Structure formats: C-alpha cells, structure tokens
Amino acid sequence: MAQPPMHAAAASAISGAAAMGTKMLTGGRLLAGLTDADVQIATTPKELVWQQDKVSLFHYQPLAEKRIGIPVLICYGLIGRWTMTDLQDDRSLVRNLLNLGIDLYVVDWGNPSRADRYLKLDDYITGYLDGCVAEIARRAAVEKVNLLGVCEGGVFTTAFAALFPKRVNTLTLTITPIDFHADMVDSREGHGFINLWTRSLEPEDIDRMIDANGNLPGEFMGAVFNQMTPMRSMMKYNWDMLEVVDDQKRLLNWLRMEKWIADRPDHPGEAAKQWLKDLYQQNKLIKNEWELDGEVVDLGHITMPVLNVFAQDDHIIPPATSRALAGKVGSSDYRELGLPGGHVGVFVGGKSQKLFAPGVAAFLSEHDGS
C-alpha cells in the first residue's frame, strides 16, 4: 500500500525522537540492573602491610615473575586518590607494571578529617612517606627503593629524594608540578587555571579560608577543577551521559571515572596552606627555598636517575611546569617521557597505556642492579 508523502523535516524529527527513546529505554535497562558492586575501581589484589594513624601501605600481589628486584612505591597526593592508577582492569598502570614483573607498593593517605587540620606536608613527607619507605626497604632487604610520584605525590617524592638521596634508587615523576609559575611561560588556552586562580588570591585569603573551614574541602578543589572545563562540567550528567547510556561497556567506564572523581578527600589545613602558598603562590620548590622540618629541599641533592613523565595535553599541570625540573637536579641521568593525553587521560587513555608502563619498566630495569 502506498504511504502518504511525509515532509522530510518531520520524518527526521520523528526518527530522531524514536532513536532517542530507544536509547533511553536501553539506558534505563542498563542503569536499573547496575549495583555498586558493578562499578568497582582499584580491584587489583593487594595486602595491607603497614599502617600509621590514617595512612596505609599496601603491597600488590605479583601477576608475573619478578623481573625488577628493587620495589616501587606509588605515591599519590592528597588531592584525589591513587585509585586513578588502577581504575579498571584494562586501564590500569598498576596492572601493567605488575605484568612487567615489578614489585609494587602503594600508599593511601586515608580520609583526613578536621582532627587532621594541623598536619603539615612535613608530616606526610618526612613522617609517613619516610615510614613507608623504611617498611618497604625492611621487607625487601634493600637500602634503596624506587619512588613513583603522581601529581602532588610527585612533589612529595621529589622532596623526599632531595632530603634522603641515599634511600632512593630511582625517582619517577608523573604529571608533577615543579615550577608552579611556568604556566605563564607556555600559556595555552584553558591550561594552568589553578595556577592563575591561586595567584589571584592573597596569602591571607588562604589563611582565612583554611582557618574558617579547618581543611581545604575536597569538594572545593573539585569545583576548581570543574571550572577548568566549564561546559563539560555543565553537561556531563545529561548530554554526556546520554551519549554512553545505552552501551554497557562505555557506561561502566564512565561510571568508574565518576566514582573516582567523587572520592575527593579533604586536604589537611596546614598542609593545604603550604601547598597553595609556599608552592603555588611563592614557587619555593624550583627556587630551592622550600623547607621541610627545618631543612631546605635542594633539587641539586637529587642525585639518583630521574624519569619525568608528563602529559602533553595536561591542562591541570601544564607540561612546562613539570619539565622545569630539567637542569635543576644533581643527577646526570635525567630523562623525560611525554605521553599523549591529559592529566587523567595519561593513566586511562588507550595510547598512553601502551607507552607508560613499558617506559617506566625499561627505566627501572636499567637501574635495577639486583
């Protein structure tokens, strides 16, 4: 039977609405069937081996024959959590390193509360990180360990390596700010907003803000990060979600990322003052003026091999702020590894997955000696 002619635009609209309805229906089915257990992150098996106050040190179970004798400690910062390094089985730096025969540890700083507001970066670096390194060295019967710092955690490991060079075999930094003002040197659209934003405040503003709130609330930092991708932040729970909602694999990937983003611990107040004032505002690290426990953190004292991994499209830690380390360390073996992707993409992106862990493993292998 012949169909009546239909206006092309109306047909397109009806077709579009039908497709949208199907998508939503499929998405509805998928969402209804999901439980929290389906959206797990950081599932690679590990055991708790050391604990002090709220800090926990975990040792990963091996997934392959050990090829590198000296253990590696992954040290994330206090903004966000290390679980990014083990987001899901097929997007996991942790798994990739384990599969390459690396003996791996990770430190979790816990969930600081108002009771922890007086903890300083000194406590984290020369206290808790020191304890972790000592425990790993004791367990592995070695005097040096390999450190792998991420973002703020990279600053922790940099400072530790400068203060205790005899206890660090190699230093691997990933997406780590060293020169907090280098965003002005290499200014790209949308990059380095945190640097600019922090400099727009007076030191007294930060003191008052921390005094008023005790800590730097995790959700506050989350809001600052969201400002860096304004439209994406505005649309992600409607438009972006609609894009993936009818594809189980993509939906789960999206939800795992959301789970990681939602886990933003508060940053202890005094440590936050140091982070924002000493480093972001006054840029003391690159100037060798930063002091911890009364000792100057001198980058020239970093004499072990250094691998500096940066993300080429990192809008949070612009590459120039990381690469400023070149020429500042005392080591004659300083290398850089620029990876495709952004601040988070470097850990979960398909391209960087193929380069990141193998690059680190090759560097470690060269300096293993065990």
Partner 1 sequence: MSEADPAAGLKALTDFWSAQATTMLGMQQTMARSMAEGMQAMVAGGQASGSAEAASSPELAQAGEAMAQLWSAATGLSTELAGRLTQINDGSGAASEMLERIANPRYWLAGTPEMDDVLARMVDGPRLADLFDVERRYGNVMRRWTELRRTGFEHQRVLLESWMQTSQKFMTELAGRSSADGKPLEIKQVVALWTEIGNRQMLETQRSEAFLRSQRDTIRASTELRIAQAELSEHIGKQYGLPTRTEMDDVHRTMTDMRRELRRTRRELDALKQAQSAASAPAPAASSVGKLPAKPRQTAATSRKAR
Footprint (CB under 8 A) of partner 1, residues 236-265: 237-239, 242, 245
Question: Among 231, 249, 327, 332, which residue interacts with partner 1 (rule: CB under 8 A)?
Answer: 231
Phi and psi of 120, rounded to 5°? -110, 170
| Cα dihedral 132→309→326→74 (10° resolution) | 0
Q: Give the distance from CA 153 to its chain's centroid.
A: 8
Instruction: Please identify, among the stretches 96-104, 171-179, 222-230, 275-283, the one whose residues bind partner 1 according to the rule CB under 8 A.
Output: 222-230
Non-local CB neighbours of 80 within 8 Å, separated by 6+ positions: 151, 260, 263, 264, 265
Q: Which of 44, 126, 172, 274 lies at the binding interface for partner 1 (CB under 8 A)?
A: 126
Rounded to the nearest 5°, which phi and psi values hold at 71? -65, 160
DSSP state of 267: B
**Quick one: which of 311, 358, 365, 300 has its CA closest to 334?**
300
Closer residue to partner 1, CB minimum distance, 112 or 337: 112
Helix, strand or coil, per DSSP, at residue 268:
coil
C-alpha to C-alpha distance for 272 and 56, rounded to whole angstroms: 21
Interactions with partner 1, residue window 284-343 (CB under 8 A): 293, 295, 301
Contact flag: residue 234 with partner 1 (CB under 8 A): yes
Range 14-73, binding partner 1 (CB under 8 A): 14, 16-17, 20-21, 24-25, 27-35, 38, 52-53, 69-70
Question: Is there a contact between 91 and 97 (Cβ–Cβ < 8 Å)?
Answer: no
Q: Between residues 63 and 242, which has the closer beta carbon with respect to partner 1?
A: 242
Active site residue 75: no
Q: Which stretch binds partner 1 (CB under 8 A): 114-122, 277-285, 317-325, 353-361?
A: 114-122
Q: Is the dihedral of CA 256, 320, 339, 329 positive or negative?
A: negative
Q: Which is nearer to partner 1, 145 or 337 (CB)?
A: 145
CB atoms closer than 10 angstroms to residue 41: 18
* Part in contact with partner 1 (CB under 8 A); list of ranges 76-84, 93-101, 149-157, 199-207: 199-207
Of the candidates 343, 365, 351, the one whose C-alpha atom is nearest the C-alpha of residue 85 is 343
Q: Which of 121, 151, 299, 304 is catalytic?
A: 151
For 73, 225, 367, the CA distances from 67, given in Å and listed in that order, are: 16, 38, 12
**CB of 189 vs partner 1, minimal distance in Å:** 6
Name the residue nearer to partner 1 (CB basis): 140 or 355.
140
Q: Find the binder of partner 1 among 5, 65, 200, 327 (CB under 8 A).
A: 200
Restricting to residues 132-171, name those near partner 1 by CB under 8 A: 134, 137-138, 141-144, 163-167, 169
- In the complex, what is the shortest distance from the CB of residue 272 to partner 1, in angstroms, rounded to a whole number? 14
Size of the site for partner 1 (CB under 8 A): 87
Nearer to partner 1 by C-beta: 298 or 336? 298
Closer residue to partner 1 in complex, CB, 114/287? 114
| Residues marked as catalytic | 151
